Amino acid sequence: MKKIIAICFCLATFIGVRAQKTVPEIKLGTVMYASAFVQGQEFPLVLTVKSITVPVSIGWSVEGYGEGAFEMSAKSVESGTQLLAVTQPALGVTKLSDTETFGIISKSAFKILSDTKAFTYSGVKFKVKSPETAVLKISGKEIDAFHVISEDGKEELWILNNAAFPFIVQSVGQATDIVISEIK
């Protein structure tokens, strides 16, 4: 009997550990490989975290097009209210307004999302999709992310469950949609 209980305990522990979702660490130098979708065309995209302190900077690179970075002020990172709608970014550094973010939602929006399972961004009301039926994997690992959908069902975001850096790892219905496939 003790052996059966021990086996059941080990099996339950293994399943629990295996079912755990991960939150990739986003830090200075983190590189994310993605596909970007603009007006039905797919482009390989590389995003790099250039700075996690003010100004927060996320670099981008598209082979054959160029590279640049989006810089966000302390105010936009803390309390921004809209995503930068970009389809063809300018080369070099683009400084965003205090209301805009790129690749992330603001920390205040993330807190509201965490507390209420809903938030408004870019004038669009989002709520957590329930029940969640899809598994989000990056680099072969199941990711802990909020999957939110707009009230009209036309927009979706998958946001890392990370209050320090609530990165959008996948989107549908944006000016440029992204799907992150690997984080290093």
Question: Please, what is the average pLDDT of the chain?
Answer: 90
Token pair belonging to 23: 């939150």
Q: Is the pLDDT of residue 3 over 80?
A: no
Least confident of 11-20, 81-90, 129-138, 157-166: 11-20
Q: Supply the pLDDT for residue 49.
A: 98
The answer to whether 180 and 169 are in contact (CB under 8 A) is yes
SS (H, E, C) 16-50: HHHHCCECCCCCCCCEEEEEEEECCEEEEEEEEEE
107-158: pLDDT as tens digits: 999 999 999 999 999 999 999 999 888 889 999 999 999 999 999 999 999 9
Three-state DSSP class for residue 99: coil
What residue spans define the domains of the chain?
A: 22-183
159-170: pLDDT as tens digits: 999 999 999 999
